[in-house]
Amino acid sequence: MSDSKLKKVLVGVGGGIAAYKVCEVVSTLFKAGMEVRVILTNSAQKFVAPLTFATLSRHRAYTDELFWRSSNPRPLHIELGEWADVFVIAPLTANTLAKLACGIADNLLTNTVLASKCPILLAPAMNTEMWEQHTVRDNWEKLLTDSRYHSMGTASGLLACDRIGAGRMAEPAEIVSHVYSLLHTAGERDLFGKQVLVSGGGTREYLDPVRYIGNPSTGKMGLALAQAALHRGAKVTLVHAPVTWELPLGIEAIPVVTSEEMQQAIMLYLQIADVIIMSAAVADVKPRQYSKHKLPKYRLPDSLALEPVTDIIAEIARRKQPRQKLVGFAAQTGDIVTPALEKLQRKSLDAIIANPIDQPDSGFGCDTNKAVFLDRSGQKIEIPPCSKLKMAHHIFDFL
């Protein structure tokens, strides 16, 4: 993120095999221009050496030995606690979880938690049986009643103990994205209790089982919107066309292919949504006839008969309640504002995001974007080039 310079992220590493994944977290944050400091528990040092984290963060790593022998004028845990903008604990072990839930401070990591005020992101990792123990679940639920703590949850899959089940630590990219969000919001959950419905990706309208009418949308903007809403406390449903990226933890994902399938899925969740953001690139037309078998080349028509598909966002606008906000996207070339304003009025949207697809580092497939936010009250706010996650947060800020 271009505005991440001078942001300070403190990473606490617990004693679990997933500690090796935290190397990627630290490296990514440093490359993004952030200052990173790392605390290792004694158990963590048995999995990854302090020198590894010192090299990746370009700063010495902190251990209990340094804590107890520190000759600093001020206590080390106080300095680190006051220094951090965001505190990440990964992997969060059952042992450290129990200490945090009970307010125990018997090492540098737990002392620093109690000496800090910044948001704390928790990425637990442990064996399935351990994760599902009543005492562990009680500690987890107790800890999350404190608004300082933000949860990554755990994934399911093959664990280091060869068990297949819950308990895997979130992937480094997910942890990094959540850190970006916390740096933007300072941990505020302004969407808590809200239901956010997002569409993303490009629909496909098939001529036969192989050929289709489509577009280059990758769904990255929809993913960013879903992540931003989740990180701000919302319950999120993402209806997405075919994508290549893995879906993050905590988001209810509904995969679809065609515009008709997307319409059906969205209408199923429409009534419970407080905010609906239509970032999907939905087809405007589809082949009039569909062949169940692949057409040989010689049977392809010289001209393809087309028919319009249902205008999903217009249908939503007709059905939406006064309490709901409906936001659309307008991907344009050339003048992006005039057609977006026309679409805003014609489809009775509350707001629209106009973004160029004919400029470098913007539009389909890019990790970055730029846009103009327009709403019915007359606001016109330019969003400068930034990551799509940052843009998603700007959109929720404006809403």
Question: What residues form the annotated binding site for CTP?
Answer: 284, 294, 329, 343, 347
State whether the Cα torsion 392-393-397-399 is positive or negative.
positive
Cβ neighbours of 73 (radius 10 Å) = 6
Q: Which two tokens stand for residue 162?
A: 């060869």
Is 161 one of the annotated active-site residues of the chain? yes
Q: What element of type H or E holds 267?
A: helix 259-269
Q: Which two tokens stand for residue 253?
A: 């994902």
Annotated active-site residue in 23, 102, 161, 366: 161
- Nearest-angstrom CA–CA distance, 96 and 40: 12
- Please state whether beta strands 212-213 and 8-13 pair in parallel, antiparallel, or not at all (unpaired): unpaired
- Nearest-angstrom CA–CA distance, 147 and 399: 23
The neighbouring-strand residues paired with 381 are 373
For residue 215, give every residue at least 6 positions away whose Cβ sits within 8 Å of its Cβ, in sequence order, or none.
202, 281, 283, 364
- Nearest-angstrom CA–CA distance, 140 and 143: 5
Q: How far is CA 337 from CA 157, 330, 343, 354, in A?
A: 46, 9, 10, 6
Whether 108 and 76 have beta carbons less than 8 Å apart is answered as yes
- Nearest-angstrom CA–CA distance, 259 and 43: 52
Q: How far is CA 34 from CA 152, 168, 368, in A?
A: 21, 26, 19
Residue at token pair 């963060």: 57
- Nearest-angstrom CA–CA distance, 300 and 210: 12
Q: Is the peptide bond before 91 cis (omega within 30 degrees of 0)?
A: yes
Q: Which residues are annotated as a binding site?
A: 284, 294, 329, 343, 347
Beta strands of the chain (E only): which ranges?
A: 8-13, 35-40, 86-92, 120-124, 149-151, 155-158, 164-168, 195-200, 205-206, 212-213, 235-240, 252-255, 275-278, 285-287, 306-308, 325-332, 351-356, 368-375, 380-387
Give the residue numbers annotated as catalytic, written as ranges. Answer: 161
